[in-house]
Amino acid sequence: MDIVSLNADNTAHRTAVAELLREAFPHSYGDSAEGEVESLLEAGKVAIVALVEGRVVGFAGAMPQYGCTGWELHPLAVRKDLQFGGIGTRLTEALEAEVARRGGITLYLGTDDEFGQTTLSGVNLYDDLCGHVTSIANPGRHPYEFYLKSGYSIVGVIPDANGLGKPDIIMAKRLKN
């Protein structure tokens, strides 16, 4: 597997990334995936792909925020049939290295729970936010555990960000000591 920058001139790879975004996030990119790919190719952002035998199997992007010290990881997607095989890990490691090279100190992300995958979903988090976060569980294979294993920490939660009982879990990782 190779991890390379997404080349804006490679139409086949751009199309494959758009399809990957549709597959991974149909509720977000069903009809806007091509525009999202174009946005991720803007100057100053990072867009990388995982290739197996020249075919796109994963994608990760990041954009600078807070000057150049804080960056948002957005998005990370791996083909469904190839998930849990290390592609996401390789993509995040490559993305982290590139963000650090560009002066990034912190990489953060929001990982929504729109589908009731964690114990933060479907409850009033305002009652005891810290208690809920401390006792978070993952009955629905939510990706926050992938990020925990990759060294990210839960640094916040936005209750009801996606509707009542549908929080956004904010995670971050320090890239430089």
Q: How many CB atoms lie within 10 A of CB 74?
A: 17
- Domain boundary residue, one of 78, 104, 130: 104
Strand order in the sheet with 70-78: 2-5, 46-52, 55-65, 70-78, 106-112, 168-174, 153-158
Q: Report whether pLDDT(177) > 70.
A: no
The predicted-structure confidence for 41-83, as pLDDT tens digits, reads as follows 999 999 999 999 999 999 999 999 999 999 999 999 999 999 9
Q: Does one domain contain both 94 and 139? A: no
Distances (CA, A) of 21 to 5, 42, 67: 17, 17, 27
Q: Does one domain contain both 119 and 100? A: no
The predicted-structure confidence for 81-97, as pLDDT tens digits, reads as follows 999 999 999 999 999 99
Alpha-helical segments (H) within 5-86: 11-24, 26-29, 33-40
The predicted-structure confidence for 121-169, as pLDDT tens digits, reads as follows 999 999 999 999 999 999 999 999 999 999 999 999 999 999 999 999 9
Pairing label, strands 106-112, 168-174: antiparallel
What is the C-alpha separation between 172 and 17, in angstroms, rounded? 24
Number of domains in the chain: 2
Return the CATH number at 147: 3.40.630.30
Q: What angle do CA 84, 101, 38 make, to 5 degrees?
A: 65
Q: Which of 163, 174, 160 is nearest to 132 (CA)?
A: 160
Q: Does one domain contain both 132 and 92? A: no
Q: Which domain holds residue 50?
A: 1-104
Tokens of 31: 């009809």
Q: Does one domain contain both 82 and 167? A: no
Q: Does one domain contain both 89 and 135? A: no
- Predicted structure pTM score: 0.94
Compute the CA torsion angle 151, 154, 158, 160 (nearest 10 deg): 90
Tokens of 104: 């990034």
Q: Does one domain contain both 5 and 92? A: yes
**Three-state secondary-structure class, residue 66:** coil
- Domain boundary residue, one of 104, 121, 137: 104
Q: Does one domain contain both 94 and 138? A: no
- Domain boundary residue, one of 57, 77, 104: 104
Calculate helix-pair angle for 11-24, 33-40, nearest 10 degrees: 120
Torsion 65-69-70-73 (CA) sign: positive
